[in-house]
Amino acid sequence: MSSRRFLSIVVVCAVSLGGACSSDAEPDAVATLPTVPADQVTVAPTFVDPTVAPARADASPLVLDAVVFEGEPIVVLRNAGDAPYDLVGHFLCNRPAYMPLPETTIAPGEVFEVDVAALALDPTDGEVGVYTSSAYDDPSAMIRYVQWGQAEHGRTTTAVAAGLWTDGEAIGNGGASLFATNDDPISAAGWSVG
């Protein structure tokens, strides 16, 4: 910046302070700056990491925490919220198989294991959707989803429409169990294989 431009900025600042720095001002006097209307205030942009999926505002506190294939297959649900979570009216789906969840309440931070033999899960290729009702093709009824093996299953389009899964993604697990790595896993990157 040139010294002339810097000097003019200093002069403008001194003039806008109304002479608060002059020798006539009282020693304890504080200059009053003009108030800027709220609609003219500019807020600096927030940095968003493009590699991290943002949490959805409507994300359910019920997390699909694991799909375990060793022994009898089970689905592990976890309440990540701070209030009890009621499973009444909830369903699991591996299209074309569906099953109601037991009528129970999961305490905050607790897990609940569900025997899913009725879903006939294939360890190398399948899906699990968690629903708040039996409206299986309604994206607003689905609250969690995971798929492995192929990238297209019976309820994949519903999960993508609900913002619960990334289109074209599936977990290559080779028949091993799946474990969520965060509270809102909406892509293959949100799962580990073990």
Name residue 5's amino acid.
R
The percent of residues above 90 in pLDDT, for the chain, comes to 66
CA atoms within 13 A on the CB side of 185: 25
Q: Which of 88, 123, 91 is nearest to 106 (CA)?
A: 88
The contacts of residue 189 (CB under 8 Å, 6+ apart) are 53
For residue 14, the model assigns a pLDDT of 42
The pair of structure tokens assigned to 144 is: 């969690």
- Of 48-52, 101-105, 184-188, where does mean pLDDT reach its minimum? 48-52
For residue 165, the model assigns a pLDDT of 95
For residue 36, the model assigns a pLDDT of 55
The secondary structure of 38-60, three-state, reads: HHHCCCCCCCCCCCCCCCCCCCC
For residue 51, the model assigns a pLDDT of 39
Residues 2-33: tens digit of each pLDDT: 444 443 444 444 444 444 444 444 445 555 55
Backbone angles phi, psi at 106, to 5 degrees: -100, 125
- Of 8-12, 39-43, 142-146, 182-186, where does mean pLDDT reach its minimum? 8-12
Region 64-89: what's the mean pLDDT? 95
Please give the mean pLDDT across all residues of the chain.
81
Residues 105-148: tens digit of each pLDDT: 999 999 999 999 999 999 999 999 999 999 999 999 999 999 99
Residue 37 has pLDDT above 70, yes or no: no
CA 7 vs. chain centroid, Å, equals: 50
Q: How confident is the model at residue 176 (pLDDT cuts 50, 70, 90)?
A: very high
